Each structure stands twice: as structure tokens, then as C-alpha cells.
Structure 1
Amino acid sequence: MPFIAIRGASLLADEVELQAHLASLLRLENVGLLLGAGASVAAGGFTMIALWNHFVAACPHDAEWLVEHGFIAREAVVAQDRITPNIERLIDSLEIALSDWTRKAGLIDEDELVGLAPDEQEELQNLADLKTSRAALYRTVVSAALLQEAWWISPGGVESDETRLASQRTILQKLVSARQPGQSSPWIFTTNYDLAIEWAAESIDLQVSNGFLGVHARRFSPQSFDLGFRNTQARGEARFGVYNIYLAKLHGSLTWREEGGQVFEIPASLAHQRITEFMAEREGAELGLMVMPRAAKYMDTVGYVLGELFRRFAEYMNKPQTCLILCGYGFGDEHINRLIRSALLNPTLQLVIYASGFTGDPMNLALPPTLRKLLSLKNPRVTVVGGGAASAYVDSLARHLPDPLIYDEDLRKLEKALRATDAPAEEA
């Protein structure tokens, strides 16, 4: 589709103008990304729409059961004009129902199945079906976050694949290289459970500060977000170079495990073994890894970890001279949307939003309500870039971000030209 981008109420002429705008934003004190499911499509992930369509096609009986028991609307499973539900909210509802139905089933004496009343038999059957449907939905979510099987099995699998994570590598390198002496490292916030960012950073020898500390027992320690890296051998401005990124996985990760009231990060190879076992089960299996917020545990350990990450996200957007670039995020999480809307009260916050559905019409009803609201503000601090297929989200961002070395060279040439212009006037 043709290039389309709007800043406030003004259309940007072309990609060159957008690139110049991004170059100025990368000079701000704080630079970060918010990545959604669309940012991992090129690496093998699914968008939320594709994920739901895959679930309905692969598990039609489970999808129908969810409709019959009121967890989703009939429109979510019809072939034409299918409406994708909020999957995390759906799992949240299933967790609450599981807790409630398990309590009720505990009052039934299963040793006397022959003498059970029909309603008691129905309750036990519903509980079994609930566990089966929930596990099927979990397996679909996990399969979407696996990306490429070879990357889990072999540490060198990611480095040997030069194409699928090329855009992620380019983005990380450009963000880090654009940091000026004394400026903080870039932040990457993501709602994805996959390891795309970790693998991309590791393949270019970039340190990842993700809130976990330790070597063999990596425990969640939020104070690690306040630490940085420096080169002790560097001299001059190089001493203030950036050697890491901060990564906050707002909805959890496939490699997180809760144990003994704490959350640990386990190696990808070990996580893959447990994921493989989980994917092979057909009944109400438990993954054992925390991959998303769950209402039944929110006030426990999981709530603390995710709450800390969201606090960091809100804190980041309220800092002075801050830029946040949204890529592959479909505005499907209202708790994140609220934080973004309230953060606009920060007069120095700049937002850049890559939205595939944006074609130039700010009032297009097909756009998410939050995006329409942001467009209606006509705020010059909000830039929206239209895109094509979901797989082009991250590719477009990688192409549009300016190369810092070229940008700096252009500035030096401009400065030299201005000095040459001013020299005769000073002599006169």
C-alpha cells in the first residue's frame, strides 16, 4: 500500500520526512519500544487474530464448548466476519471459573459416581471439559510463541538464521548506536511471551537486562533495572557508551517458572523440554511455566512480578524527554491503553505508532477505539504510520530508523558548511 503517516493533524510527505522525525526522536533522553504480537510474525509468530483462527480450526469442539457455556460469543467462531475475542481476558475468565467449579466439585463424593444426581454428574463433566478447553487454548498460545523449533534446540540456531530476526537485530543496533554519552540504554517493553528480542540481542553480543539476576538460579530482582554496563578499557566519550537494553515482558515469558514464592528464569533448552511434554498432553495438563497474567494468582507472586514491570512501564513514560515507539501492538490490552492515554499528560512524551489498519482516515471504525482516540486529539506529539501486512511491521520500523553514523556525518557536514558561511562575516 502507498506510504501514509500523520503527525498530529499534518500528513508527512514521504519516508524521508518520517526518517528525519525519527532521527530527532532518537536524540531524546529516553528511547523505548512497545512490541506486540505483530512484531514477531516475521520470526514465525502469530497475530492475535491468526492465533484465534488457528484455535477455532484446530480445536472446533473446544471452541464450541466455550460458546455454549457463555465464555465467548457465537460471532467468535463463525466463518464469516469472525470477531476475535480478547484471548487473555478469556483465559482470565476460564481461570476464575476453574477455581469456582473446582470448589463446587470438591463437595461431590466422586467415589459414589453411580449414585450421583444428574446435576452433580453434569458439574463434574463441565469441570473436565473446562480443563480440556483451557489446555487446548494454552497449547495454541504456546505454539504461537515457539517461533522456530531449531532456536530452542541449538544455541547456534538463531545465529545461523540470518533472515527471520534480521529486523530485530537492526532495530536494536540502531537504537543502541543512537545513544549519546551519558544517556540511558533503550527500553524494550513487550506483551509477547516469545524470546525474539532475547535471541536477537544475544546474536549481536548485546547484554539484556530483564529483571533477573544470577547465573544458574536466575531470580527476579527488579533492582537490576537500575544497573548498567560500561567498558572499563574505554577512553574518552566511549566510557559512556551503551552496551545493554532493558527488557520488560509485561505479560510474562515461556521461560519463567514460579517456585517457592519466587519467579525464576530457566534456560531455553529446559523450558523446551517441559513445553514439549505439555504440548503432547490432550487433557487438562499444566504447563508449569507462567506465560500470562492469571486472575487466580494475581495477588500472589505473579502479581508482584507483573505489577513491578507495569510500574516500570508507567514510570518510563512519565520521564522527561521520552519517546515510545509502538510496533505490532493492536491496542487489545485495555490496561496498557489506559497507561498510554494517561502518559500523554507528560508534555515531553513523543509517541510513534505503527498501525497496519491505518489508511489515512482517523475516524475509520475498523481501527481500535484507543487508536481512533489518539488520532482525534491531533496532538503533534503523536505520529501514526500506516502499514501493510502484519509481517511488515518490524521490517518497516527497521528500515525507517536512521543509521546513526550516516546521520552524524550529515550533521558534521552541515556544521562545517555553517562555519564556512559565518567565517567571512566574522572577518569583516
Structure 2
Amino acid sequence: MPFAAIRGASALVDEIELEAHLASLLRLENIGLLLGAGASVAAGGLTMIALWAEFVRAWPQEAAWMVEHGFIDAEAATPPTPAIPNIEHLIDSLEIALSDWTRQMSKFEENPIDYAPGEQELEQNLVGLKAAKAALFRTVVSAALLRQEWWLSSSGVEADDAALASQRTILQKLVSARQPGQASPWVFTTNYDLAIEWAAESIDLQVSNGFLGVHTRRFSPQSFDLGFRNTQARGEARFGVYNIYLAKLHGSLTWKQENGQVFEVAAPLAHQRITTFMDERDGSELGLMVMPRAAKYMDTIGYVLGELFRRFAEFMSKPQSCLILCGYGFGDEHINRLIRSALLNPTLQLVIYSSGFNGDPTDANLPPALRKLLSLKNPRITVVGGGSAHAYIDSLARHLPDPLIYDEDMRKFEKALREDERDSQNASLAQDALP
């Protein structure tokens, strides 16, 4: 698919024009990323379409049980390219059925004399339902593991690991483009994986993710109000940026809840918990993670996640801010509402990388929330598409300007402006000197 990009109602001619636009946006006071599942594909993650296909392949009996009991259509359980259902509604249906069937079973247990012929069938259905729900949750977690060796390595991810090259490039470009006195970049993500943390650690970039502590890392939101500086630096270098802020809006594989508090554990220890979770078959959930279901809005208003969403909304309300979306499929309505509301900020700029965008703002195949944004024809909204060659995270890494080259070009531009201004003044003085 050829390159396609649009800003407001005007199409961008080519990638050069897009890169120039991004270069100007990086000069704004506040820069942030919103990353979805598509941003981790190169590192081994799965999109929702690929995740469902993996579920059908790895758990055929559970998929067949869902078909038999009317939770999904037969087409949704037919490999290798099953029709993807609405996974959020599916999980909601499973949980409603689980609650209802459990209530019915409790009646049988309370009144064993009132034996009903359907009791044994109901018990079997409960076993099948719990197995199907557990299999689906384990597929979601498995998709976020990325690579097993990264979890077990005592030295972390190597700096030359190609799987995280795009993440490293983006972080380096965003940090290097910050000017003296400007805030560190924000990274907001709906992913549970550790792609951003591992990429930042591989280049010795500090990550402020809301947790404080050395051996016991407890969620302390005030840490988002702190920064790093180089005490040895002089001049403008004292105001350089040495960290990023990371807000994982739907939780993380390394978070756990205990005694009313939320802690972050080291990757090897978290991997042990994940392994135990993957071996269970009771449909339980892992740590603090918001599973893909329609009720997830309620899951994100409590402590920790509610604070992270507040920071997300606060970022978009700040003057001179730019939010770049990549790999986000607009499937989270609670996030979509925040983005639409944030457009009331007249200085907010949005740049959206969407692999499904072909240049037509009215394309029915686009997510409804994205079509609504395109229909505004707002010059502060830029959408980049053109398929995998132009709209994935590697494209964003390529399109973001190299700060050093950009600064050199700016110096040339400013020099040219000064020369033009001096020439104009000289011409004006010469005109005034005429008799």
C-alpha cells in the first residue's frame, strides 16, 4: 500500500513533508506516546487478531466448547484464519454465565434434597466454562511475554537486540530533542509487556513509572513529579533530560497487589508467578492487569490505574502538547473519550499511526472512533497510514527526526532569516538615504 497521510483536510505529499511536520512538533513543550498492542509486534507481541488466532490454534477444545454453548460462531473457531469475535463482549458473556451458573449450583448445594436432573450437566458446564475462560486469559498473558530469554537474563536485554531497535530509537530521539527546561517525554501504553522498560534499560535511560524503592518498589504517584539532572553538567546541559515517564494504563505483568498496596517485582520473580499462573486452570487473573472486557472502564478508576489515567488526561490538557499514537486500535472507548475531550485544548496536536488508513477518511473499515476524529478535519490531527511499510513502530522510528541534523538545519534556517532581515534593513536605509 502506498504512503498515505492526512493533516486535517489536507493530504501530505510524501514522507519528507511528514518528517518536517514531526520535527516541528518535537519542539513543543510536552511530548508523549500512546502505544497499543501493535507497537510490540516486532518484539514478539500479538495484535488482537493474531491473539484470537493463537487461542483457536492452542486451545481447540475450549474454542469448540464456546461454539457448542453459543458463546461464539463456528467461523470464529475455524483455523488458521478464524473470524475474530468481539473479545471484550465474549469475556463479559463468559463472566456473566459463570456468575449465573455458580449461583444455580449454590442452590443445589444448599438444598440437596431438591435434586434436579440438570445438576450434573450444570456442573460439567461450569468446568468447561472455567477452562475456556482460563485458556483465554492465558493466551492474553502469553501474548505479552514477548521473549522468554529476556525474563530470565540477569543482565537484561542487550543494546544490540534488533527486536527492540525501534523502541530504543524512538526513546533516544524523543529525549535528545528536548530543549533546556522542557519536560521529559511521557510514554502511555495499554500493553502489559516490558518492551519499553527493557528498551530504556538497554540504553541506560531512567524510567519513572510511579514506583519507588530498591528492594521493595511500592506505587508512589508523587514520583511522577520528580526528575533527574546531571550535577556535573554546566550551562544549558544542567537542564537536559535523562529519563522518561511511563504510565501503563492497563497494568503490567510485573505488578502485584498485596495488603491493599501495589508493588512492582523484578522480572525473574514475576516470571515465576507467570509460570504458576499459566499452569492453573481455574480462570483466575494475574496481578494488577485489566483484561480486555467491556467492564474494564470500572477497573481503571481505582487506585493506581485511576491515578495513571488522571496523569494521561492531565498531559493532554497541558499547553503546547503533542501525543503520538502508534499500534493503538481505538478499541478502548474509555481512552477514546479522553482523547476526544482533550481536543478542547486548542494547542494539543495528535499524530496517529494507523496501518488500516489508506488515505480515505470515510473508509468503513477504519475503527469508528478514528473515523470520527478524521471527520473533524482538524488541522491539529495528523493520521499516517499506508500499511505495514509506513504505519508501524519502525516507521515512526524512521520518521522522527535526528535531533542533531534537525538542530543544524534550524541553525541554517535561522541564519538565512537573519541575513534576509539584515538585507531588508540595509535596503530600507539605502532607500531613506536617497535625495
Decide: shared fold, TM above 0.5: yes
Show the counterpart of 1:42: 42
The CA deviation at 1:367 is 0.8
SS at match of 1:326: strand
User: Within 1, Cα distance between the matches of 2:348 and 2:262?
Assistant: 32
Q: Is the 8 A contact 1:86 1:332 kept in 2?
A: no
Matches within 5 A, 1:12-411: 12-74=12-74, 76-78=76-78, 82-109=82-109, 116-159=115-158, 161-281=160-280, 283-284=281-282, 286=284, 288-293=286-291, 303-389=302-388, 393-411=392-410
For residue 48 of structure 1, report the CA deviation from its aligned partner: 0.7
Equivalent residues of 1:38, 1:390 under 8 A apart: no
Structure 2 residue aligned with 1:3: 3
CA distance in 2, matches of 1:166, 1:279: 29
Q: Tell me, what secondary structure is at the counterpart of 1:33?
A: strand
Deviations 1:317-347 (A, max 9, x none): 1211111111011111111111111211221
Residues 261, 94 of structure 1: CA spacing in aligned structure 2 closer, same or farther, 3 A cutoff? Answer: farther
TM-score after normalising by structure 1? 0.92
Instruction: Return closer, same or farther for 1:224/1:388 CA change in 2, 3 Å cut-off.
Output: same
Question: In structure 2, what is the Cα distance between the partners aligned to 1:91 and 1:213?
Answer: 34
Taking the aligned partners of 2:374 and 2:301, their CA distance within structure 1 comes to 34
Q: CA deviation at 1:387?
A: 3.4
Once the two structures are superposed, residues 22-48 of structure 1 have per-residue CA deviations (whole angstroms, 9 ceiling, x without a partner) of: 011111111101101000000011011
What TM-score comes out, normalization by structure 2 length? Answer: 0.90
Q: Residue 397 of structure 2: SS of its match in structure 1?
A: helix
RMSD after superposition: 2.6
User: Tell me, which stretches of 5 or more residues in structure 2 are unaligned?
Assistant: 430-435
**157-166 or 17-26, which deviates more:** 157-166
Q: d(CA) in 2 for partners of 1:392 and 1:414? A: 30
Q: Is contact 1:26–1:178 with CA below 8 Å preserved after alignment?
A: yes
Q: Write the deviation string for residues 190-213 of structure 1: whole angstroms up to 9, x where unpaired.
A: 111100000001111111111111
Deviation at 1:123, TM superposition (A): 2.7
CA distance in 2 between counterparts of 1:10 and 1:277 reads 53
Give identity over the alignment, percent.
76
Q: Give me the whole-angstrom Cα distance separating, in 1, the residues matched to 2:18 and 2:101.
A: 54
Residues 41-83 of structure 1: per-residue CA shift (max 9 Å, x gap): 0001101100011112221222233344454455533569854
Going from structure 1 to structure 2, the CA distance change for 1:39 and 1:296 (only over 3 Å counts) comes to closer
CA shift, 1:268, in A, is 0.5
Deviation at 1:376, TM superposition (A): 1.3
- TM-superposed CA distance for 1:260, in Å, is 1.0
Whose radius of gyration is greater, 1 or 2? 2
Note the residue ranges of structure 1 that are not aligned, 5 or more in a row: none
Aligned partners of 1:11 and 1:307: how far apart in 2? 37
- Pairwise CA distance, 1:297: 9.9
Cα pair distance change 1:160/1:318, threshold 3 Å = closer
Residue 109 of structure 1 aligns to which amino acid in structure 2?
E
Q: CA deviation at 1:242?
A: 1.0
Measure, in 2, the Cα distance between the counterparts of 1:183 and 1:230: 12
Native 8 Å contact 2:326 2:353 kept in 1:
yes
What's the CA shift string for 1:72-127, capped at 9, x where partnerless?
A: 45553356985423434533443444344434433433997x99422222332222
Partner amino acid, structure 2, of 1:258? Q
Cα distance in 2 for residues equivalent to 1:268 and 1:390: 33
Note closer, same or farther for the CA distance 1:167–1:301 as it changes in structure 2 (3 Å cut). closer
Contact kept in structure 2, 1:47 and 1:390, CA below 8 Å:
no
Counterpart AA for 1:21? H
Q: Assess if the C-alpha contact under 8 Å between 1:275 and 1:287 holds in 2.
A: no
Displacement of 1:277: 2.4
The letter of the residue matching 2:341 is S
Aligned partner of residue 63 in structure 1, secondary structure: helix
The range that moved more, 122-131 or 349-358, is 122-131
Give 3-state SS (helix, strand or coil) of 2:163's partner.
Answer: coil
- CA gap of 1:250–1:201, structure 2 versus 1, over 3 A, is same
**Alpha-carbon contact 1:42-1:391 (below 8 Å) kept:** no
**Contact 2:255–2:288 under 8 Å retained in 1:** yes
For these two proteins, the number of residue pairs brought into alignment is 426
**1:278-328 deviations in whole A, cap 9, x for unaligned?**
2234x2263542222579998789832222211211121121111111101
SS in 1 for 2:63: helix
User: Aligned in 2, Cα 1:13/1:297: closer, same or farther, shift over 3 Å?
Assistant: closer
Quote the Cα distance in structure 1 between the aligned partners of 2:93 and 2:303: 20
Q: Which amino acid aligns with 2:116?
A: A
Q: Which SS does the other structure have where 2:32 is aligned?
A: strand
Aligned residue identity for 1:18: L
CA contact (8 A) 1:191 1:249 kept: yes
